[in-house]
Structure 1
Amino acid sequence: MMDDRNALFSHQTFARAIEFIWREAELLDRRDYREWLELWDPAGYYVVPIDPNTTDYAATLNYAYDNQDMREKRVQRMTSGYSASASDAARTVRTVSRFTLASDSADMVEVKSSQIVIAYKRGVSTIFAADLTHKISMASGEPRLVEKVIRLIDSTEALSAIGFLL
């Protein structure tokens, strides 16, 4: 009987995590960056590594390695109207799928998935594809992002037009 309860808990936690990830994607597509910030645990990290195999983000070069302060500054730049990324921001549509439960416990769940982002700006559509890893804390009762790692499939190439959050 205990195994059934654990399996049910795990399934419910996984389902909540997927809904949370879809909500995050929706907020980003709507450019609701202020509400997106509310999804984060204060100690969390938003990471877009260049090296597709790195796990030591602090010791390697990244497109983004944002703690709470850097996430807030990035959102401020994007919403201020003074930067190119704010005044001429791309419209985006995200599809997040291929969810895999990497690990879970009573307090933390790790979900791997894939993401396709279509960004439209000045008559041009650009595709960004990535493998994602979300570490989501369930400790407070409300899911909170502890870490989001976006591994772009072309991260080692010269990238342009990333004037939005992935």
Structure 2
Amino acid sequence: MNTELITQVAAFIWQEADMLDHGEYAQWLESWTPDGLYIVPIDPQETDFANTLNYACDNADMREKRVARLGSGESISTSPVPRTVRDVSRFRVLANDGTSVTVRCAQNLREFRKDVLKHYTADVSFELVRSGGSFLIRRKIVRLINSTDTLQGIGYIL
């Protein structure tokens, strides 16, 4: 096991989680490759994202629009602004060719909004591309284990 790689990957993913929890969406957008895809499938077993319904299947343009809606204050799902905390753990490198790394991890997200605490657990996979001394996200797939419990008006990015 390459513990140095795991440490680098975990640090990058923890940073991404922190950016999202603190609404640092401009920095989050900069952490993607131009061709990157952010995917949240309805069916956690799905692999054909282009031909099925997804909660999200965002390219760069759609990610920017999503961030604009979150920051505008005009979206009903962002009023009041939800507070979130993510725990990301259990990192496993699935592939590493020297220029890109595919990793799977666990995410537990807690959302507090309108005096209600919700909890979402997911298997998350990332395809990361080396960039300088860090990474960029080429693909992020969030597979909610409770995806059949419809996401109702989330005002944040999973």
TM-score by length of 2: 0.94
Q: Which amino acid aligns with 2:15?
A: R
**Hey, what does 2:108 align to over in structure 1?**
116
Unaligned runs of 5+ in 2: none
The Cα RMSD (Å) is 1.4
Aligned to 1:30: 22
Number of the residue aligned with 2:127: 135
Q: Match of 2:92?
A: 100
Q: Give the aligned residue type for 2:101.
A: V
Letter in 1 for 2:148: T
Aligned residue pairs: how many?
158
**Offset at residue 115 of structure 1 (A):** 0.5
**Which residue among 5, 9, 16 is the counterpart of 1:13?**
5
The aligned amino acid for 1:122 is K
Percent of residue pairs identical: 43
How far apart, in 2, do the equivalents of 1:53 and 1:85 lie?
27
Q: What residue number does 1:47 align with?
A: 39
Note the C-alpha offset of 1:14.
2.6
Q: Tell me if the contact between 1:43 and 1:146 (Cα under 8 Å) persists in the aligned partners.
A: yes
* Separation of aligned partners in 2, 1:29 and 1:42: 23
- Opposite residue 51 of structure 2, the aligned amino acid is A
Identify, as 1 or 2, the structure richer in helix. Answer: 1
Alignment partner of 2:52 out of 54, 60, 71: 60
| Secondary structure of 1:35 counterpart | helix
Structure 1 counterpart SS, 2:110: strand
Q: Which has the higher strand share?
A: 2
Q: Is the 8 A contact 2:88 2:107 kept in 1?
A: yes
Consecutive unaligned residues of structure 1, counting only runs of 5 or more, are: 1-6
